[in-house]
Amino acid sequence: SKILGRTTDPQRWAILYLGSVKAAAVLPDRDIVVVSKGGKAVDHQDQALRGIEGIILLDGTWSQAKALWWRNAWMLKCQRVILGPAHPSRYGKLRREPRRDGLSTIEAAAMLLASLERRPDIAETLHSSFERMLVRYREAQRVLPELAPKPRPKRDYRRRKHA
C-alpha cells in the first residue's frame, strides 16, 4: 500500500511461489498455475489469473527469497502462482538452478507478463535483453577466467550425522 499509494488487497496480488510444488504435477497442460496454500490447483484457473492485479517476484538466491517470503505476513496472504516452463533456463552452464524447472527472475517475469498481458512481445523483448547480457558475460569470462562459475563443493553428509 505504501509503495502504490493506495490500499491494496493481497488476494488480488500473486507471488511466484517458492515451494516444491511443480506446475507439471498439478496441471500438466498449463504453463502458469494458481495454487492454494496446500499446493493444489485452484478452481477456475483463467478467472483466477484474470483477477490478479500485480505479481511479486523475489529476486535473490533461493534461501534469500524464502527468508523474505516467510518474514512478510502480507506476502503470505497473496495468491500463489507456479510456473511450468517448456524450456530450461537460458543460463545454461553459467549458473546451475536448484531445480530443472528453475528460471532466472527475468525469465520468470517474461513468462508471467507475456501470459497475463497476452503479449508475447514482452517475453521476446526481455529474453533478447537477457541473451545479450549472457553473451557479454561469456565474453568477459574468456578475458577474466575468474568470472567462470566455480563448482560447488559436495557436502559430506556423513560428517553432519556424527557432529
Render pLDDT for 77-135 as a digit per residue (tens, 0 to 9).
999 998 888 888 887 777 766 666 678 889 999 999 998 899 999 999 999 999 999 99
What is the crossing angle of helices 105-116 and 120-143, to 10°? Answer: 170
Burial of 18 (0-12, 13-18, 19+ CB in 10 A): middle
Higher pLDDT, 163 or 52: 52
Tally the residues of the chain.
163
Strand partners, 14: 55, 79
Cα(77)–Cα(42) distance, integer angstroms: 15
Q: Are strands 79-83 and 32-35 parallel, antiparallel or unpaired?
A: antiparallel
Residue 155: which pLDDT band, with cuts at 50, 70 and 90?
A: low
